[in-house]
Chains A and B, each alone.
Chain A
Amino acid sequence: MTQLGFYVDTSKCTGCKTCQLSCKDENDLQVGVNWRRVYEYGGGDWFQNADGTYEQNVFAYYTSISCNHCAQPACTKACPTGAMHKREQDGLVVVDGDVCVGCRYCEMACPYGAPQFDAEKKVMTKCDGCYDRVEQGKMPICIDSCPLRALEFGPIDELRAKYGTEADIAPLPDSSLTQPSLVMKASRHAKPSGDRTGRIINTREV
C-alpha cells in the first residue's frame, strides 16, 4: 500500500492562509469548519542589557496542518462506527458521512484537531486528501494554491527520502502518539514539540 502524506516547509510559509481558504472553497465548508488550519506559533521576550538598552528574541512561524493521515490514527481507533477509516489504496483517513453518528469522539482523540464537526450535516468531516483530484492526477487544492510552494503531497516514503523524517515541531504533538504521514522542514526559529517557550497565537482562527 502506498501511504500518501504531506510535506510542510515552515521556513517558506508566510502564514498567508491561501491553502486554508482554497480548501474551504473547494470543499464548500461552513464557517468554523477548517479542514486545513494555519497555526501561528510565537513567543520571545525583552531583556535589559548592562548598559540599560533592551534586546528582544521574539519569534513567530507558521505551521499549515490539515490531517496527517497517520499510520496509527487516534481518530479511527476511537470511532465507534468505523465511519472514520483508513483507505486501503492510499492510506488516506476519511469519514463515511452516511455511517457517522456524530458522537465527536474522534475530535476528542485526535491531537491535531483534524476531525471537524459540521453543525449543519451533524456529522464529522475532515481533510480527505482531495482523493477525487488525486485520482484525476491532480494535486490536492491546498498544494496547488500555495503561492510560496511550501506544501507538497505524495507517497510519504518519497517525501521522507527527499526531505527527512522531522515531524516534531511545535505546536505539533509528539509524533510517536499517532505516527503522522507528515514531513516538516524547520524554520530558523522552529522549536521542538513540547516546547513551552512559545504558544499558538491565533487561537481564535484555528
Chain B
Amino acid sequence: MHELSLVFFTVLAQSTVGMFLILAAMLMVNQDVSRQRILSRGLGAVLVMLGIAGVAAMTHLGHPLRAINVVFGLEHFSALSVEILATSLFGGAVFTFGAMVHFGILPKLQKLVLAGAMALGVLLLLAIANVYTLATVPAWNSGWTIFQFVMTAFVVGIPAAALLLRSQSTLLGAYQKNADRALATLGFLVMGIVLVGYPLYLFWLGQVDLPVNPLGLFEYHGSLMLARLALLFVGMGLWVISATRGSNTAAGLTAISTVLVLIAELCGRIFFYDLHMFASGM
C-alpha cells in the first residue's frame, strides 16, 4: 500500500499531540520551578517524535524537495495545506515553550505560550481528521474518523507520557508515583472508550452504502483487527494493572506497553486506509 508513510505520519503525529497534552496539562497546574524544568525536558521527546512523523510524511511525496509548494494551497483552504501548517505551528509552539523554560525567558508568559501550544495540538488533531472526511469517500466521511484519530492520540499518548515520567522517577519522587497512578486510571478509561466505540464504528461501517462490503475487502483484515484489539488490551493492560498494583517506576514495562499500543494503532490505521473507495466503485 502506497499510504504506509501516511499510516506512520498520522499515528505518530496524533500520539505526539496526546503525549504533549498530558505533559502540558501537568505543566499547567505545576508551581514548582525545578519540577517544571524536569517535565519540560520531556518536550524534547515530543519534538523528536513529531520530527519522525514529519519525515514519514515527506517520504509520501513524489517530489519531497518541492514540499514548500504546499503553502500555495492555503489560498483555497486545502485541507492538506491546513494540516501541514497546523503541524508546523504546533511544533514551533512546543519548541518556543521548551526554549523559554530552558533559557528562563519571560517566565510570566510561558504558560500563555503553553496554552497556545495545547490549542494548536487539538487543532492539529482536527486538521488531520479534516483531510480524510472527504464527501466523495463514504467510509471516511463521518465523525468516526474524528473519533479514531482523537482516540489514537490518547491511547498512545498516555502510556508514552507515563514512560517519560518514569524515566525521571528518581528526580520527581512521590510526584511521579501519584501521576503514574492517575495516568493509569485515565489510560484504563480511554481503553474502555475505544473498546466500546470501535465495535460501534464497525457496525456503522457495515451499513455504509458501498459497491462492496467494506468488512470483507481483504483476507488479512480479520487478523489485523484481532492484532489491533489484542495488542491494545495487552499493551494497555500490562502498564495499567502493574501501576494500580503499586509498581510505578519501572520504565521497561511501560516502554513495552507503549510500543504494543503503538503497533495496535498502526494496525487500525492500515485498516482505515484500506477502506478508501468511492460510492461509485470507480
Contacts and interface: CB of A to CB of B under 8 A. Distances in A.
A109 B282 CA distance: 12
Chain B residues touching A, range: 20 to 34
A177 B282 contact: no
Contacts of B80: 78-80, 103, 105
10 contacts: A80-B70, A80-B84, A109-B136, A109-B137, A112-B280, A121-B62, A178-B136, A194-B209, A196-B211, A200-B282
B108 interface: no
A168 to B, nearest CB: 10
A43 B84 CA distance: 44
Contacts of B75: 82
B81 interface: yes
B175 to A, nearest CB: 43
B281 interface: yes
A119 to B, nearest CB: 9
Interface string B245-282: 00000000000000000000000000000001011111
A39 interface: yes
B211 A74 contact: no
A173 B63 contact: no
Nearest to A119: B62
Given A111-B282, A171-B282, A101 B62 contact: yes
Contact of B136 (A74, A101, A194): A74
A110 B278 CA distance: 9
B280 A193 contact: yes
B134 interface: yes
Contacts of A79: 73, 78, 80
Contacts of A172: 280, 282
A78 B69 contact: no
A164 B273 CA distance: 38
A142 interface: no
A71 interface: no
Interface string B110-139: 000000000000000000000100111100
A171 B277 CA distance: 13
A10 to B, nearest CB: 15
Interface string A109-146: 11111000100011100000000000000000000000
